[in-house]
Amino acid sequence: MAEILDGKRIAAEIRSEVAKDVEKLKQDLGRDVVPCLAAVLVGEDPASQVYVRNKQRACEKAGIEGRTHRLPADTSQAQLLELVDQLNKDDTVNGILVQLPLPAAGNGGAGFDERAVLDAVDPLKDVDAFSPVNVGLLMQGRPRFLPCTPHGIVQLLHRCNISVAGKHVVVVGRSDIVGKPMAMMLAQRDGSCGREVANATVTIAHSRTANLAEVCQSADCLIAAVGVPEMIKGNMVKPGAVVIDVGINRVGDKLVGDVAFAEAAEVASAITPVPGGVGPLTIAMLLHNTVLATRLQNT
Ligand SMILES: Nc1nc(=O)c2c([nH]1)NC[C@@H]1CN(c3ccc(C(=O)N[C@@H](CCC(=O)O)C(=O)O)cc3)C=[N+]21
C-alpha cells in the first residue's frame, strides 16, 4: 500500500511560511503593506466556485487581502478587458487572477477570447504565470512567477524527499496551465524552478499517444493532468512509482482525480489523494506568488 502524500498538510506548512513572508515584507519595506489578490470570476463554473471560495479563506489566514470580482456569464469581452485594465492600473492590487475557463458562447454570452484576456494582465501582477512574458522567462530557466500547480507539485516532491533526478517522469496532459510547464520545470538543470527538484527525463504523453499504458508503465513518477476522471488505471502504474494526481473532477457529488486511486495505491510507492493532494498546494503557491508580486512592485 502506497504512502499517501498529504498535500493538505504541506499546503498548510507553506501557507504559514507565506504569512511569515508577509511580515518580513512589511519589515523590509518599513510600512504596513497588505498584499492584495484580485480574482475575476465570470459565470458559474462549479470547479471555479470551489477554487474561489478556498482561495479567499486562505488569503485571509495568510494576511493577504482577497478581492473577488464576480461578473455574469453574458459579460462582453470589452467589459472584461476594461476590468483587467482597471486592475492593472490599481496600485492597491498586487496580483490578478482571471479564473479559467471563461464561459463558452451561449447562455446569452458571446464567448471570450481567453488568450487576449490573459495577454492583457500586467506581467508583474500575473500570479498565475499565464502571460507570455512569464511563460517565456520560465522556458529560459529564469522564472519570475512559477505557475501555481506545477510549483505546488515541485514543493510536494521536495518536502516529501522525493527526487526525480535521472528518473523517468511521464506527464500525461499538455495544457499550458499544468502539463507543459510541469515538464519543463522537472527537466531543468538546476533548482531555478523551485528547490532542487530537477534533472528528470521527461515524457509528455497525451490523448494521441500510442500505447499510453506502456508509456505510463515506464514512469518512475507519473503525473496525471488530463481532466478525465479515473483514466489512469492501476495496471498503468509501475510497481513502486510515485503517482501525482492533478485531476479535480466532479462526478455526481464526489470529487475524483484523473487516477483510479484505490487500484493505483496498491501498486505505487506514494500517491496524492483527491481531494487533499495537489489542489490545496495550488492555492498555497498562489499566495506565495501574491507576496512575491507585492515585493517586486515595491522594490
Ligand atoms: N486562472 C486560474 N488559475 C487556476 O489555478 C485555476 C483556474 N483559473 N480555474 C479553476 C482551476 C481549478 N483550480 C483548483 C485549485 C484548487 C482546488 C482545491 O483546493 N481543491 C481541494 C478540494 C475542494 C473541495 O473540497 O471541493 C482539494 O483538492 O483538496 C480546486 C480547484 C484552480 N484552477
Query: pLDDT for 129-142, tens place per residue?
Result: 999 999 999 999 99
Q: Residue 65's beta-bridge partner residues?
A: 36
- Quote the CA–CA distance of 78 and 229 in Å, as a whole number: 35
Q: ipTM score here?
A: 0.98
Provide the residue range defining the domain that includes 59: 32-122
Decide if 79 is inside a domain.
yes
At 266, list the grid cell.
496498491
Decide if 295 is inside a domain.
no
Decide if 290 is inside a domain.
no
- Quote the CA–CA distance of 289 and 233 in Å, as a whole number: 34
Is the C-beta atom of 248 inside 6 A of ligand 1? yes
Supply the pLDDT for residue 172. 98
Per-residue pLDDT of the chain (299 residues; tens, 9 = 90+): 899 999 999 999 999 999 999 999 999 999 999 999 999 999 988 778 878 888 999 999 999 999 999 999 999 999 999 999 999 999 999 999 999 999 988 877 789 999 999 999 999 999 999 999 999 999 999 999 999 999 999 999 999 999 999 999 999 999 999 999 999 999 999 888 887 889 999 999 999 999 999 999 999 999 999 999 999 999 999 999 999 999 999 999 999 999 999 999 999 999 999 999 999 999 999 999 999 999 999 98
CATH of the domain at 112: 3.40.50.10860
In the reported structure, the alpha carbon of residue 30 is separated from the centroid of ligand 1 by a whole-number distance in angstroms of 34
Which residues fall within 8 angstroms of residue 225, CB to CB, at 6 or more apart?
149, 171, 172, 173, 175, 178, 179, 182, 246, 247, 258
Say yes or no: 153 and 113 in one domain: no
Decide if 299 is inside a domain.
no
User: Sign of torsion, CA 84 88 93 94?
Assistant: positive
In the reported structure, the alpha carbon of residue 299 is separated from the centroid of ligand 1 by a whole-number distance in angstroms of 31
Say yes or no: 64 and 107 in one domain: yes
Ligand 1 atom closest to residue 278's alpha carbon, by position in its atom list:
28
Q: Is 175 annotated as a binding residue?
A: yes
CATH of the domain at 273: 3.40.50.720
Is the C-beta atom of 227 inside 6 A of ligand 1? no
- In Å, the largest CA–CA distance within the chain is 58
Decide if 129 is inside a domain.
no
Decide if 47 is inside a domain.
yes
Decide if 118 is inside a domain.
yes
pTM, full prediction: 0.97
Say yes or no: 261 and 152 in one domain: yes
What is the number of domains present in the chain? 2
